[in-house]
Amino acid sequence: MDVVLEKRQVQRAYELYAPIYDFIFDWIFAPGRAAAIARLGLQPADRVLEVGIGTGLNLPLYPPAVHLTGIDLSQEMLDKAVERVQTLTMPSVTLKVMDATSMDFGENEFDKAVATYVISAVPDPVSVLREMRRVVRPGGTIVILNHFRSERRVFGHVEDLVAPVCTRLGWKSNLAMTPLLTRVGLTPELIVKVNLFNGWRLVQCINRK
C-alpha cells in the first residue's frame, strides 16, 4: 500500500516536534549521525549542504571552519539551529528555510551533501534526491542516513501495515531503498546498518553525472 505524505503534514509534525526534537533524536540516533558526517570525509575547503538540518544536532560534528549551508522546511526547527550556530561560534554556517524539492541553488554549487533522517519524512523523496544530485558537483559525495523498508518479508509487511499511522506522524515507514536510488540514478558505494537493532541504513554515494 502506497501512502503519500503531504507537505502540510510534514510542516505540522515538525512544528509540534521542535520543542522535544532534541530529546528524542539526540541520544537515540547519535551513532548514525556521527557516522554519516564522518563518511563525508570533510576537507577544510569543502562546500557542504545539509538537507533537513532541523535543530542543528549535527553541527557539533562538523569542523568549526566548514563552509556549511543547512536548509529546512520548518522555521521553528531552524530557530533552534541558529542558537546552536551562535553557541558553537561557526561563522561559516548559513541557514535557510527552503523546500528541498526545489532548492534555490545553482548546479554543482556544493562538493558534498548529507541528509540524516530526512528522506522518509519528505513528501517527494525522489525530487529531493534529484535536487541533491543537481547541486552537488560531479564526483562529489552524497550521504543519506535513513530508515528504509526492511528486506525481510515479515518486517517489511509490518512496516506496510503501520505506514498509514506513521504518515500521520510525518514520516513514511515503508520507503524502499533500492527502487528510490535507481529512480534518481544513485549507486551506493557503501551501505552500513547503524543505530539500535541496526534499523537504519547509512548510504554513501558518489555523484556520477
Using alpha carbons only, what angle is made at residue 156 by residues 197 and 192, rounded to the nearest 5 degrees?
40
CATH architecture under which domain 7-206 falls: 3-Layer(aba) Sandwich (3.40)
Q: What is the mean pLDDT of residues 30-58?
A: 95
Beginning with the edge strand found earlier in the chain, give each strand of the sheet holding 136-146 in spatial order: 93-97, 67-72, 47-51, 110-116, 136-146, 200-206, 188-194
Residue ranges per domain, the chain? 7-206
Position 156 scores a pLDDT of: 45
Q: Which of 88-97, 112-121, 148-157 has the lowest mean pLDDT?
A: 148-157
Position 21 scores a pLDDT of: 61
Position 166 scores a pLDDT of: 45
SS in 3 state form for the chain? CCCCCCHHHHHHHHHHHCCCHHHHHHHHHHHHHHHHHHHCCCCCCCEEEEECCCCCCCHHHCCCCCEEEEEECCHHHHHHHHHHHHHHCCCCEEEEECCCCCCCCCCCCEEEEEEECCHHHCCCHHHHHHHHHHHEEEEEEEEEEECCCCCCHHHHHHHHHHHHHHHHHCCCCCCCHHHHHHHHCCCEEEEEEECHHHCEEEEEEECCC
In terms of Cα–Cα distance, which of 62, 76, 135, 68 is closest to 100?
135
Q: Is the pLDDT of residue 174 over 70?
A: no
Q: Is the pLDDT of residue 17 over 80?
A: no
Backbone angles phi, psi at 69, to 5 degrees: -115, 125
Q: What is the mean pLDDT of residues 55-74?
A: 93
